Amino acid sequence: MDNRPREIVVISGKGGTGKTSISASLAYLSQDCIVADCDVDAADLYLLLKPISIERQDFYSGHIAEINQEKCAGCGICKDLCRFDAIKANNNAKFSVEPSSCEGCKVCVEFCPEKAIDFPERLCGEWMKSETRVGFMVHAKLGIAAENSGKLVALIRSEAKKLAQEKDKKLIIIDGPPGIGCPVIASITGATDVLVVTEPTLSGIHDLERVLSLANHFRIKPYICINKFDLNLDMSEKIESVAKELGAKVIGKIRYDKLVTKAQIEAKTIVESNIPSAQDIIDMWERLKVN
């Protein structure tokens, strides 16, 4: 029997559609889940859930080149070979690596005739296990200008799964990243359920189409939530027909509610603050729960 926990990943093609507020609300409603923040670029979930961390670990990913100035003979071979334009000439006739451009490919390290280039592991941030009022949480802080958020996303998901097994939880709720690139791919591959939060705007539809074709690419059938659906009813209708065409199901519609910001300022989830849109999220949760 398959007893791996159900994993609901909340994503949105477009940023700023309310993904984090909705994920937090679902976690609150479930009452018994592990919650994880995989939007590591804009990790905002902690602002609502106020986690108290019980464990922290450094996150290393890949390597970075560093030129030892004493050994460098200034031949410039490394600069010629680096395809990421990460090596610059210094004014002392030697060369150095620009860390934010280095992709850690190792080419310069391998071909420096003086063996002058070190290749240490790269510290990219840290990740935490925490306790919150809605349950355990796994989250991270990606270093500024760090790479590989896809790897960090994969790590957070696997730690959340381990924690679910340990604590005997049947559900993981994940606040996923926006877009369709590497972090999103890392967050939805192998997930049991994907919920796409969109908004009734032309940009929203455009991005939704892209995210749905990404889901198709990975053979995932996502659910759709239209946030602020009453901001533009024509667009909301269009979303429903786009969803139908692409084999996705609209599972919730949330009204435009200015008080969501107030809830955010009070560090509460939408469903904890008694505001109009809370009911729409509760209705959606009832449907999601049994699906």
Partner 1 sequence: MTLAVASGKGGTGKTTIATNLAMVAAEKYGQVTLLDCDVEEPNSHIFIKGTKIKEEIVNIKIPEVDESICTECGACSNFCQYNAIMSLKGKPVVFKEMCHSCGGCTLVCQPKAIHEVDHRIGLINFYSLGKINLIDGLLDVGSPLSPPLIGAVKKLEGKDTLNIIDAPPGTSCPVIEAIKDADYIILVTEPTPFGLNDLVLAVEVSRKLNKKFAVAINRVGSGDDRVHRYCKDENIPIILEIPDDRRIAELYSNGKTILDNLPEYRKSFEEVLTKIGVVIQNGQ
C-alpha to C-alpha distances, 216 to 17, 34, 59, 126, 183, nearest whole angstrom: 21, 27, 31, 32, 17
Positions of E strands within the chain: 6-12, 34-37, 52-63, 66-67, 87-89, 95-97, 117-118, 121-132, 135-142, 171-178, 193-198, 223-227, 249-254
Residue 184, phi then psi, degrees to nearest 5: -70, -45
Choose the contact partner of 222 out of ligand SF4, partner 1, none; CB within 5 to 8 A by kind: none
Q: Which helix (H) or strand (E) holds 261?
A: helix 259-265
Distance CA 140, CA 198 (A): 25
105 or 282: CB nearest partner 1: 105
Q: Which is nearer to partner 1, 164 or 260 (CB)?
A: 260
Does position 27 interact with partner 1 (CB under 8 A)? The reply is no
Q: Report how many residues bind ligand SF4 under the rule CB under 6 A.
A: 27
Which of partner 1, ligand SF4, none interacts with 116 (beta carbon under 5 to 8 A by kind)?
Answer: ligand SF4
- The gap from C-alpha 168 to its chain's centroid, in whole angstroms, comes to 24
**Amino acid identity for residue 137 in this structure:** M
The span from the CA of 157 to the CA of 174, in Å, is 8
Residue closer to partner 1 by CB (options 210, 221) is 210
Picked from ligand SF4, partner 1, none, the partner binding residue 241 (CB below 5 to 8 A depending on kind) is none
CB nearer ligand SF4, residue 16 or residue 99 = 99
Shortest spacing between CB 153 and ligand SF4, in angstroms: 20
Closer by beta carbon to partner 1, 171 or else 242:
242
Per DSSP, 74 falls in state: -
Q: Is the dihedral of CA 173, 178, 179, 181 positive or negative?
A: negative
Which is nearer to ligand SF4, 11 or 65 (by Cβ)? 65
Closest by CA to 74, choosing from 58, 95, 54, is 95
Structure tokens at 50: 């106020």
Can residue 86 be called a binding residue for ligand SF4 (CB under 6 A)? yes
Radius of gyration of the chain (CA): 22
Structural contact between residues 43 and 126, judged by C-beta atoms closer than 8 angstroms: no
146 or 172: CB nearest ligand SF4: 146
**Residue span binding ligand SF4 (CB under 6 A) among the ranges 28-36, 95-103, 138-146, 179-187:** 95-103
Under 8 Å between Cβ of 234 and 204:
no
Task: For residue 185, state whether it binds partner 1 (rule: CB under 8 A).
Answer: yes
Contact flags string 35-74 toward ligand SF4, x per CB under 6 A: ------------------------------x-x----xxx
Q: Using CB under 8 A, which residues numbered 84 to 113 contact partner 1?
A: 84, 100-101, 103-107, 110-111
Contact window for ligand SF4 (CB under 6 A) among 3-11, 81-89, 205-213, 220-228? 81-89
Residue 246 in contact with partner 1, rule: CB under 8 A: no
271 contacts 12 by C-beta, under 8 angstroms: no
- Confirm or reject binding of residue 42 to partner 1 (CB under 8 A): yes
Binding site for ligand SF4 (CB under 6 A): 65, 67, 72-78, 81-82, 84, 86-87, 95, 97, 102-108, 112, 114, 116-117
